[in-house]
Amino acid sequence: MINTFSTESNLSGLDRNKFQKNIAGKETDLFILKNKRGMEVAVTNYGCAILSIMVPDKDGKYANVVLGHDSIDNVINSPEPFLSTTIGRYGNRIANGKFQLHEKEYNLTVNNGPNSLHGGPTGFHRRIWDANQISQDTVEFTYLSVDGEEGFPGNLNVSMTYRLDEDSNALTIEYHATTDKPTIVNLTNHAFFNLSGITNPTPTINNHVVTINADYYTPIDEVCIPTGEILSVENTPMDFRTPHTVGRRIEEYHLQLINGHGYDHCYVLNKTEVGELALAAICTDPTSKRSMEVYTTEAGVQLYTGNWLNGFAGAHGATFPARSAICFEAQCFPDTPNKPHFPTATLLPEDEYQQITIYNFTVQE
């Protein structure tokens, strides 16, 4: 692990000493990324968790706009284990923890009702990644997920880079992965955003205005597994093609909102070609005027409105009640291995998994 850049006097007030720990022979640490515009991002190599994203509001006041913790022990013991972490080997749900690949059935650890969720209980969010802070604005994480880990086949070599742009307040996350046998891969970051800034209590995101570049979505059943349909958002509360506040329709009596306890759905992004880096979503807080644009090469983005947050404590005494965060998880569609008509999540030894997702923060005029 290489961490030679100062973490002192960071905007988020995090103490590096509280993030340094030896766990089973591997060291955890705190990494601070900065750009010349003043943006700052704090991360740790435990689950590659994003601890803070410091960006200004309309008055130039900086605040942390992502839910996180202020010590490694709190990250490890978080009531929300996926809080702002990297997710893998397969983000989202796989029905009954089972899938077939090349006529062989694989059984995964079940950790969400009858399903496997986010790679299982000891998925990538629970792993200590090797880290190399390349520059003040860039850190690279690497991890070898061994054959059979959480039931997934193949040794998967993963590299992931967090990078701040010098000319804009953009956080780019770039993923690469290779395997030595056929496997499935669906990586994402599960950042929990609140553009108002975290506090005690952190306000709901009901007033956040959202636009999603998607004409279709994948409806879910009562255990949040896609039905296999790809339905139009038109004339439903799932429609964010034009700007709407999250709270405007979230309590409507609609089967999908009932099944998801709010929004917890994958949107089929409008793309002109596979792998195109394109705008997926825009989210704005009308009070602070902070705005975030999400760009991704992925086919889908999971909209999740923090429906299961329960008020637990985070960094510096902030608390996180229900719906105090919104997530835009760029990814393949859920349960893709069991839905042959969905775009494939299979990775073969001769291929390379690649993904770019960008969160660009601005101030709305």
In angstroms, the CA 143 to CA 127 distance is 8
In angstroms, the CA 241 to CA 72 distance is 39
The backbone torsions φ and ψ at residue 73, rounded to the nearest 5 degrees and listed phi first, read -65, -40
DSSP H helices in the chain: 72-76, 255-260
Active-site residue (options: 69, 125, 190, 265): 190
Q: In terms of C-beta density within 10 A (0-12 exposed, 13-18 middle, 19 or more buried), how is residue 246 classed?
A: buried
Of residues 87, 97, 225, the one with CA closest to residue 152: 97
**41, two tokens:** 């991002």
Going from the C-alpha of 38 to that of each of 55, 136, 165, the distances in angstroms are: 8, 12, 11
Instruction: Judge whether 149 counts as a catalytic residue.
Output: no
How many of the other CB atoms lie within 10 Å of CB of 103? 5
N- to C-terminal Cα distance for the chain? 42
Query: What letter does residue 260 receive in the DSSP assignment?
Result: H
Residue matched to tokens 């990297």: 86
Active-site residue (options: 40, 149, 298, 329): 329
Query: What letter does residue 126 receive in the DSSP assignment?
Result: G
**358, two tokens:** 């960008």
Instruction: Judge whether 208 counts as a catalytic residue.
Output: no
Known catalytic residues?
190, 329
